[in-house]
């Protein structure tokens, strides 16, 4: 009897304490605040800089060049950004990237004050912002994961989605409001947002070095073993990242190879890429349709905000949707919903119909983003995680310019109705083989990362 009592006491004393509620996890909340500042600054820049270039030159081409250069730099440096995240101290990478972006953003209002701002200077800032996204983007996602226990990861990622959706919703109108206060105001705001992100990176300490693989032939470090849980055992000593694929050549593409070889991640990334291409392709025809119906510029902006509003509301549904269906079923449902939504602008109702349709699709966007994060965090070894995240970010981004250019070419020769119909038809045709295949329909959620172990007799 006494032995049983002693064992029970030992079990209780060795049991891990419950995790701190996420709202009281100051490291996560500080990182989240810094990330919110960085994201808001990017959305301010996406609106303010093209307007600045339009005012300086009167050229729509140069105004559009800002976004094109920013995306191009993000794609160009994406491969190297993933390698850096896996080889070097991630916290230092985040601090350096935020510091560089702060200097670039602060240089614009300073040049305005000195009356020395040029078009070349402005476009160079676009390149710097895009490059810093490539280096800090993977690290920010990893940083969130590193300060949150596994059982709170889904909740933390859902809150992170609220940050992204909220910034997308607030950024453009805030940039317009700041422009009303003064020509330099939105650029000062962008610099302040970058300063907030840098401050959070300086204050919060998180594991900077990637976890070293547990062994070359053991299951935790091997490709097969990496498909479950958090592969590189938490008791392993963190390596410096140079012992795993130190040569820069083929190792730089390891993230892309992992995405291509993974039977679940590959179709997921492909499907989201298709959604991004379709969303970018429908934007210009929708604007042309609404303009032809007599909708004002403000009305068009409000109608297109439907997706951001829906995504903000969708953050509340992430947990429920993940419980009700597997990742593949959820992905296919959102993808197929996008097909009729593409044709919604042709229905009666004008901007109200467009807003409602985009809101409906937006509800599922946070669920898909969190799903991809979970697939990466629960299946990919930490030593490879930065490159896989960089690969997915690059693949998601690279299709958007193609969609924009493709819709422009369609509008040069056909009506907006034909352009939207072509986008919907192409998206539906691309989704058919994925729907017919078994990989997505039978996909299940990856195993939860191991919970804190309790002592047993």
Examine the pLDDT at 22 and tell me if it is beyond 80.
no
Range in 162-171, 182-191, 380-389 the model is least confident about: 162-171
Q: Alpha-carbon distance 310 to 296, whole Å?
A: 22
Residue that wins the pLDDT comparison between 233 and 171: 171
Higher pLDDT: 422 or 211? It is 422
Question: Residue 98 — pLDDT band, cuts 50, 70, 90?
Answer: very high
Burial zone of 302 (CB within 10 Å; 0-12 exposed, 13-18 middle, 19+ buried)? middle
pLDDT of residue 108 exceeding 90, the answer is yes
22 in Cβ contact with 152 (< 8 Å)? yes
pLDDT digits (tens, 9 = 90+) for 322-366: 788 788 888 888 889 889 988 888 888 888 998 998 898 888 888
Average pLDDT for the chain: 78
Instruction: Read off the pLDDT band of 210 (50, 70, 90).
Output: low
pLDDT at res. 128: 95
pLDDT mean over 371-380: 75
How much is the average pLDDT of 288-295?
84
Higher per-residue pLDDT: 266 or 239: 266
Instruction: Give dist(CA 12, CA 391) in Å, integer.
Output: 44
pLDDT at 131: 93
Length of the chain: 457
232 vs 19, residue with greater confidence: 19
Q: Which residues contact 115 (CB under 8 A, 6 or more apart)?
A: none
- What percent of the chain lies above the pLDDT cut of 70? 83
pLDDT at 299 over 60: yes
Whole-angstrom distance, CA of residue 405 vs CA of residue 422: 14
What are 333's two structure tokens? 């449902």
Reported confidence tier of residue 450, pLDDT bands at 50, 70, 90: very low
Answer whether 142's CB lies under 8 Å from 386's CB: yes
Q: pTM of the predicted model, to two decimals? A: 0.71
pLDDT at position 124 is: 95
* Three state DSSP letters for the chain: CHHHHHHHHHHHHHCCCCCCCHHHCHHHHHHHHHHHHHHHHHHHHHHHHHHHHHHHHCCHHHHHHHHHHHHHHHHHCHHHHHHHHHHCCHHHHHHHHHHHHHHHHHHHHHHHHCCCCCHHHHHHHHHHHHHHHHHHHHHHHHHHHHCCCHHHHHHHHHHHHHHHHHHHHHHHHHHHHHHHHCCCHHHHHHHHHHHHHHHHHHHCCCCCCCCCCCCCCCCCCCCCHHHCCCCCCCCCCCCCCCCCCCCHHHHCCHHHHHHHHCCCHHHHHHHHHHHHHHHHHHHHHHHHHHHHCCCCHHHHHHHHCHHHHHHHHHHHHHHHHHHHCCHHHHHHHHHHHHHHHHHHHHCCCCHHHHHHHHHHHHCCHHHHHHHHHHHHHHHCCHHHHHHHHHHHHHHHHHHHHHHHHHHHHHHHHCCHHHHHHHHHHHHHHHHHHHHHCHHHHCCCCCCCCCCCCCCCC
């Amino acid at each position: 009897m006494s032995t049983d009592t002693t064992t029970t006491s030992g079990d209780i004393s060795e049991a891990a304490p419950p995790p701190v509620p996420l709202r009281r996890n100051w490291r996560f909340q500080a990182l989240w605040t810094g990330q919110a500042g960085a994201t808001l600054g990017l959305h301010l820049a996406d609106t303010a800089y093209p307007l600045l270039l339009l005012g300086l030159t009167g050229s729509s081409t140069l105004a559009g060049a800002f976004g094109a250069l920013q995306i191009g730099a993000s794609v160009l440096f994406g491969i190297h950004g993933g390698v850096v995240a896996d080889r070097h101290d991630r916290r230092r990478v985040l601090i350096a990237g935020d510091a560089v972006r702060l200097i670039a953003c602060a240089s614009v209002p300073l040049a305005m004050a000195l009356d020395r701002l040029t078009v070349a200077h402005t476009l160079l800032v676009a390149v710097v912002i895009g490059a810093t996204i490539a280096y800090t983007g993977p690290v920010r996602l990893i940083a969130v994961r590193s300060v949150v226990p596994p059982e709170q990861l889904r909740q933390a990622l859902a809150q992170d989605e609220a940050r992204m959706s909220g910034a997308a919703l607030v950024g453009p109108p805030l940039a317009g409001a700041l422009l009303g206060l003064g020509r330099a105001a939105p650029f000062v705001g962008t610099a302040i947002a970058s300063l907030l992100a840098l401050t959070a990176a300086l204050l919060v300490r998180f594991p900077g070095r990637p976890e070293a693989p547990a062994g070359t032939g053991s299951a935790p470090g091997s490709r097969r073993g990496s498909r479950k849980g958090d592969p590189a055992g938490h008791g392993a000593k963190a390596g410096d990242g140079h012992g795993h694929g130190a040569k820069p050549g083929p190792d730089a593409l390891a993230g892309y190879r992992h995405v291509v070889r993974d039977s679940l991640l590959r179709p997921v990334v492909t499907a989201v890429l298709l959604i991004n291409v379709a969303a970018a392709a429908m934007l210009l025809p929708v604007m042309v349709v609404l303009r032809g119906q007599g909708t004002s510029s403000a009305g068009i902006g409000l109608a297109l905000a439907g997706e951001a509003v829906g995504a903000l509301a969708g953050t509340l549904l992430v947990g429920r949707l993940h419980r009700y269906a597997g990742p593949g079923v959820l992905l296919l449902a959102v993808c197929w919903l996008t097909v009729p939504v593409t044709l919604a602008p042709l229905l009666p109702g004008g901007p109200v119909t467009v807003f409602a349709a985009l809101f409906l699709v937006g509800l599922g966007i946070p669920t898909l983003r969190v799903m991809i994060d979970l697939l990466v965090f629960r299946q990919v070894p930490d030593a490879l995680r930065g490159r896989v995240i960089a690969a997915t970010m690059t693949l998601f981004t690279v299709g958007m310019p193609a969609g924009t250019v493709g819709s422009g070419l369609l509008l040069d020769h056909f009506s907006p109705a034909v352009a939207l119909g072509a986008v919907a038809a192409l998206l539906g045709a691309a989704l058919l083989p994925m729907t017919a295949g078994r990989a997505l329909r039978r996909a299940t959620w990856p195993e939860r990362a191991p919970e804190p172990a309790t002592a047993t007799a």
